[in-house]
């Protein structure tokens, strides 16, 4: 059966959205559908956004296999009914064999192509998002890689939520207290692989003059050349901070008893680092 063709025998379907470990769509992924007898009944290619649909399926149980060049295949079982689509949801494909790790040596964070974003709950029903616009740091890749270290500095006054009045308040002693503590610092203490492209990066975060341990759920995205003759490595990381751990206790209680500002902060980091 040619790619993109299938046996049209019913009115059911199997759908999926295919993404890589970095959360971005995997374009032109292939969905193969096999029935209970082991017969391939559909094989279709997805679009550039990672969406793939195998239609024309009769009712029954199937095995759906999602594949893409350079990635490990994923197989799932699903039940199809006539006239409806059985969705596999988001299917995450990992790089085959894992991504190449950065070579030992010094790598500097490129702030122009990196980001540090923060999200806080607001009124219990929505979120406020912000970012720090000024930061830098260096990554020393060791041999073995678990001996690597990370140091980063963030300019606290560079907080930006898109609202000047709110940002001015965030810079006061109610929150970041930037006059007394203009820098936010991170220093790693341990690096351990969780499996595949996922790593635990432990470290100490100094914020508002207080130092607390944090763990970053880190995903390594790979290494490659850049247009300027250099070599770049990319990774993403997330963590959750408790405001009270850093003495940011300001809040306002609503009549409903819900705090105006959530007690936790979600931090999302997307980093590109350049080999020295």
Q: Identify the weakest region by mean pLDDT among 2-16, 123-137, 158-172, 182-196.
A: 2-16
Residue 8: pLDDT over 60: no
Taking 80 as the threshold, does the pLDDT of residue 25 lie above it? Answer: yes
Domain range 105-275, CATH architecture? Beta Barrel (2.40)
Model confidence, pTM = 0.67
Residues 46, 31: contact at Cβ < 8 Å? yes
Instruction: Name the least confident of 8-22, 48-62, 202-216, 247-261.
Output: 247-261
Q: Distance between CA 42 and CA 86 in Å, rounded?
A: 14
Q: What secondary structure, in 3-state letters, does 146-161 show?
A: HHCEEEEEEEHHHEEC
Q: For the chain, give every residue range classified as CATH 2.40.128.110.
A: 105-275
Per-residue confidence at 63, pLDDT binned at 50, 70, 90? very high
Highest mean pLDDT among 35-39, 98-102, 179-183: 179-183
3-state secondary structure of 173: coil
Cis status of the peptide bond prior to 144, with omega within 30 of 0: yes
**pLDDT of 95-142, one tens digit each?**
765 557 889 999 999 999 999 999 987 655 668 899 999 999 999 999
Residue 124: what pLDDT?
Answer: 53
Contact 212, 242 (CB under 8 A): no
Q: DSSP assignment, residue 2?
A: -
Q: What does DSSP say about strands 60-67 and 51-57: parallel, antiparallel, or unpaired?
A: unpaired
Residue 263 or 258, more confident: 263
CA 1 to chain centre: 36
Give the tens place of pLDDT for each residue, 75-84.
999 999 999 9
Whole-number Å distance between alpha carbons of 56 and 82: 9
**CATH 2.60.40.10 region(s) of the chain?**
5-93
- What gap in Å lies between CA 162 and CA 253, rounded to an integer? 24
- Amino acid 212: pLDDT: 97
Tokens 């740091």, located at residue: 137
Helix or strand holding residue 51 (H, E)? strand 51-57
Cβ 245 vs Cβ 263: under 8 Å: no
pLDDT of residue 274 exceeding 50, the answer is: yes
User: Between 2.60.40.10, 3.30.365.10, 3.40.50.2000, 3.30.470.20, what CATH number should domain 5-93 receive?
Assistant: 2.60.40.10
At 67 the three-state DSSP class reads strand
Nearest to 222 by CA among 27, 22, 34: 22
> Residue 125: CB partners within 8 Å, gap ≥ 6?
none
Question: What was the pLDDT predicted at 20?
Answer: 83
């Amino acid at each position: 059966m040619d790619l993109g063709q299938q046996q049209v025998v019913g009115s059911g379907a199997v759908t999926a959205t295919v993404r890589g470990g970095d959360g971005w769509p995997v374009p032109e992924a292939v969905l193969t559908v096999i029935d209970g007898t082991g017969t391939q009944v559909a094989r279709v290619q997805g679009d550039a956004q990672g969406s793939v649909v195998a239609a024309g399926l009769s009712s029954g149980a199937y095995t759906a296999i999602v594949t893409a060049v350079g990635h490990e295949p994923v197989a799932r079982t699903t039940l199809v009914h006539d006239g409806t689509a059985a969705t596999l949801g988001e299917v995450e494909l990992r790089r085959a064999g894992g991504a190449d790790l950065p070579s030992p040596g010094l790598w500097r964070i490129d702030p122009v192509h990196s980001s540090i974003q923060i999200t806080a709950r607001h009124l219990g029903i929505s979120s406020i998002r912000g970012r720090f616009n000024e930061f830098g740091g260096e990554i020393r890749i060791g041999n073995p890689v678990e001996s690597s270290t990370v140091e980063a500095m963030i300019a606290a006054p560079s907080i930006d939520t898109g609202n000047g009045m709110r940002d001015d308040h965030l810079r006061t002693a109610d929150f970041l207290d930037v006059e007394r503590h203009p820098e936010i610092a991170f220093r790693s203490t341990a690096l351990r692989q969780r499996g595949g492209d996922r790593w635990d990066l432990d470290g100490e975060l100094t914020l508002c003059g207080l130092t607390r341990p944090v763990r970053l759920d880190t995903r390594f995205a790979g290494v490659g050349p850049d247009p300027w003759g250099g070599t770049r490595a990319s990774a993403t990381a997330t963590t959750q901070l408790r405001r009270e751990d850093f003495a940011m206790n300001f809040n306002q209680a609503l009549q409903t008893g819900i705090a105006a500002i959530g007690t936790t902060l979600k931090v999302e980091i997307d980093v590109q680092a350049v080999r020295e």
